[in-house]
Structure 1
């Protein structure tokens, strides 16, 4: 091997070391992005679960209200039927 070959190989080693460093940096950036995405996803899922619980609670209250109104309607219908029966 002569001096030119050694210089070429040294230059090539430097280039490869730079590429390795760039790959390491890219990997860190990607890992940070993945971590941020996972954190955002977790927060979003938590928000959706909270909203889902609220909607279930609201639906339960609404159903209870409708049930109460239906009972009142049935009671009033029975009273009206009794009044009409008593008048006959």
Structure 2
């Protein structure tokens, strides 16, 4: 009788453990899918950041070039004004 109870208990325990193993496998699949999704999202986010960074560098370069050009124009105009100023003063 005791053997029958032990066998019944052991079979129930094996069934319980098999169900837990199946739950663990399912949980693992869910976690792996979440990790894959997070990695994909992270890769997309980093890609967007890198693209934005390149755009900002290009915009910054263009702005610096524009400032340099405007600065040269200012220097040229100031130089012309200084060259014209003595002649105007002496003509008066």
**TM-score range normalised by the length of the shorter chain:** over 0.9
Gaps of 5+ in 2: none
Larger radius of gyration: 2
1:37 matches 2:35:
no
Task: Give per-residue Cα distances to partners, 1:24-80, cap 9 Å, x unaligned.
Answer: 000000000000000000000000000000000000000100100000000000000
Q: Distance in 2 between matches of 1:85 and 1:70?
A: 24
Partner of 1:22: 23
Partner of 2:5: 4
Provide the aligned length of Structure 1 versus Structure 2: 88
State the 1:14 CA deviation. 0.3
Between 1-10 and 33-42, the greater mean CA deviation after superposition = 1-10
Gaps of 5+ in 1: none
1:77 matches 2:78:
yes
